[in-house]
Amino acid sequence: MKLFKADADYNLILEKILDSKYFSSNSKSLLFSMIYKIEEFYDDYATIKNIDTTKDEFLNLILDTIKKYCDNIKLIEPEENDVLKKNKVLALTNEKERSLLCYPTEMSLLYGISDIMPKYFYMPDNFEYKTSFQRTLANGYIANILEILTDFSGWSWDVNSKQKSYIKDNLIYQNFVIMFGNLFMEQWRAEDSKDNSSLHEIKKYFGKTGYFDVLCKYLVIRLNSKEKTKTNKELELKKKELETISDKISYFENIKNVKLKYLKELEKLTLILNNKELMRKEYLERNKKVEESKKYATIGVYKKMLEARKEKVVTEISRLTANMNPINYMNYKRELEKFIEINTENPQDKDETIIKLQEEFIKVLKDNCYETDDTEGLENLIFKMRYYRYLYITEELQIRDVDNLRGLLDVVTKQAIHKLVLLENIKRIAIDDNLNEEIINTILDTKIIDLKSLKFEIDIKEDSVKIKTYESEVFEKEFEIKGTFSKKNFDVKQGKIYKLFT
C-alpha cells in the first residue's frame, strides 16, 4: 500500500513516520535532508536513465522502508570509528534489530536504507549460481538507488567513480534495467514467492545470445570460498563424466550393456507380477533370507515394492535409450563442455569477463535496434545507450573508454540515428548518411540532462566542420571534424541554431 498519493507533502509523511520512532534529532534532520535531495534530483535521474518508475513510487519505497524496517539509526564520524571503513561499506545494517550504523551524510544513510530493504530476487534452488546471482543483484540494487545522490546535484549529471559502490554488480544490474525496466527489477526484488518467472524470462530473453553464459562465468568468479568448494567438486565430477563419454565406442557399449541388464530385470519383474503363484514363492523365499526387521509384512507390500521397482526400471531404460540417440549424446557432451568452460575459473579474467559480457549486451542492443521501427522505441534506445556509455566498467574506465565497446556501441547508435532521420524525428545535418551519422553520434555524446532540449549549429570550412551544441540556449561544447567539405554537402545552414530532435 502506498503511503501517499501524487504531489504529496513528503516532509509531512516523513514527519508522521518519525512520530513513532526514537531517532536522534541529527538523524531526523539527515532524513529530511535526504528526502529533500531525492525529491529535487529525481526528475533529472529519471530523465537520464529513461526509467519507468515515478517519483512517487521511488519515494514511497524509501519512506515505506524507514517505516517498516528502521527503528534505530546511529550516526558515527569517520574519526570516531573505522568499522565502516574496515568493512568497505557506507553503512552497516542489522535486520533483526532493525538498525543502521552510518556516517552523518545523506548518501551513507540512503545506503543503509537500501541495504536493509528486503531483496529476495527469487530463484529456484537448482540454479547453480543462485547465491552469487542474488548477491550481485542485491549489490547492484543498492548502487542503482544511490545513483540519485552520487551522480546528480539538481542542475547537472556528473558520473564519479570515486563515489561508486559495487561497480561491476551495478553494471550487470543496469543491463537488466535497460532491457526489462526498473519496475520489472523492483517486482523481482520484492517477490518472495516460489515464482521463478523473472529468472526464466531473463534466461529466455538472452537465450539466443551468449550473454547468459558469460554472465554465469562472472557469477562463478563472484563465488565465495564455501560456494567455490561445492562448485569445484561438481566440476571434477563433470570432467570425469566428459572423459568417460568422450570414448564414444566404449560409452555406447556401456549403455548397451546396462540397458540389457535392465531389460532382463524388467522381463523378470513382469513375469512375477503377472503370476500370483510365482509372486508368492518369491515373497516367501525372499523373507527366509533376510533378518526379521527387513522382511515384508504381507505379500501386498511386496507387490507394491515390485511395482515401484518396475516403474523405476522402465524409466531407466527410457533414459538410456535417449542417451543412445546421437543427437542427445552430442547435446549432453556440449552441456558438459559448457559447464566445465563456465566453471573453470581464471583469477585474472574478472575484467576480461565483464568486458566480454558487455560485448554480448551490446549485441542484444543491436538486435533490438534492428527489430524496432517506431519512433518511441528508437528514441528510448538512443536515450538508454547515451546513459549506458557513461557507466563505469572498472574503477578507472567507463564503457565509452573501452575501444571495442565504444566501437560496437557507435555502430548501434548510428543505426538508430539512421532510422530516426528517415522517420524525420532527428534533423538531418549532412546529405551523406555516414557523415550525418558520425556528426549526430558525436553530438549525442553529451551530459545534457534532456536530449530533447539539445540544439546545434555548424560552421563549414573547406577542411573541417565545427559543431557547437547547446542545452536550449546555453552553450555546452564545440567539436571539429576534419575533411574536405562544401556547403552543398549539408542539409542545414551554417550559423543557424537547430533542434536535433524535431
For the residues 271-277, what does the mean pLDDT come to?
93
Q: What is the pLDDT of residues 454-475, one digit of tens each?
A: 999 999 988 989 999 999 889 9
315-350 tens-digit pLDDT:
999 989 998 898 988 988 888 988 898 888 775 577
If you average pLDDT over residues 343-370, what whole number do you get?
Answer: 87
Per-residue pLDDT at 155? 85
Write out pLDDT tens, residues 257-268.
Answer: 999 999 999 999
For 154, half-sphere exposure in the C-beta direction (CA atoms, 13 angstrom radius) is 5
Per-residue confidence (pLDDT) for residue 194, from 0 to 100: 66
10 contact partners, CB below 8 Å, separation of at least 6: 4, 35, 39, 59, 63
- DSSP character string of 201-249: HHHHHHTTSSHHHHHHHHHHHT--HHHHHHHHHHHHHHHHHHHHHHSHH
Residue-level pLDDT at 284: 92
Residues above pLDDT 90, as percent of the chain: 67
Distance CA 281, CA 287 (A): 10
- State the SS3 of 123-148: CCCCCCCHHHHHHHHHHHHHHHHHHH
Q: Cell 541495504: give the residue.
A: 115
More confident residue, 244 or 79: 244
CA 449/CA 462 separation, integer angstroms: 33
Q: 260 CB contacts (<8 Å, ≥6 apart)?
A: none
Give the pLDDT confidence score for residue 91 in this predicted structure. 93
Q: Which of 24, 25, 28, 47 is nearest to 36 (CA)?
A: 28
Higher pLDDT: 405 or 338? It is 405
CA distance 307 to 6: 65
pLDDT at residue number 81? 65
Confidence of residue 391 (pLDDT cuts 50, 70, 90): very high
**What is the reported pLDDT for 472?**
86
Assess contact for 168 and 177: CB atoms under 8 A: no
The per-residue pLDDT for range 446-458, each reduced to its tens digit, is 999 999 999 999 9
**What is the amino acid identity at position 63?**
L
φ, ψ at 370 (rounded to 5°): -65, -35
Contact of 408 with 359, CB cutoff 8 Å: yes
Q: pLDDT band at 1, cuts 50/70/90?
A: very low
C-alpha pair distances (Å), 30 with each of 10, 24, 83, 107, 174: 14, 10, 21, 10, 28
pLDDT digits (tens, 9 = 90+) for 200-259: 899 889 987 899 999 999 999 888 888 888 888 989 998 988 988 888 888 899 899 999
Residue 215, C-alpha cell as written in the block: 554472465
Q: Which amino acid is at 275?
A: N
Q: Is the pLDDT of residue 4 over 50?
A: no
**Distance between CA atoms of residues 125 and 137, nearest Å:** 16
**DSSP letter string, 69-94:** H-SEEEE--TTT--HHHHHTSSEEEE
pLDDT at 345: 73
Of 86, 68, 75, 69, which Cα lies nearest the Cα of 26? 75
The predicted pLDDT at position 2 comes to: 47
Whether 45 contacts 156, CB under 8 Å:
no
Identify the pLDDT of residue 86. Answer: 85
Question: What is the longest distance spanned by two Cα atoms in the chain?
Answer: 106
Give CA–CA dist 266/39, Å, rounded: 72
Read off the C-alpha cell for 227: 560456494
Cβ neighbours for 474, distance < 8 A, ≥ 6 positions apart: none
CB neighbour list of residue 53: distance below 8 Å, 6 or more residues apart: 46, 182, 183, 186
Question: Does residue 161 have a pLDDT over 80?
Answer: no
Burial class (CB in 10 A: 0-12, 13-18, 19+), 50: buried
- Give the three-class secondary structure for 157: strand
pLDDT for position 379: 95
Instruction: State the pLDDT at residue 347.
Output: 58
Integer Cα distance of 47 and 45 in angstroms: 6
How far does Cα 314 stand from its chain's mean position? 42
Range with the poorest average pLDDT among 84-88, 180-184, 304-308, 376-380: 84-88
Would you say residue 5 has pLDDT above 80?
Answer: no
Instruction: Give the whole-angstrom CA distance, residue 440 versus residue 385.
Output: 14
- Alpha carbon distance 439, 429 (integer Å): 8
Query: 193, 185, 203, 201: which is closest to 129 by C-alpha?
Result: 203
Average pLDDT, the chain: 91
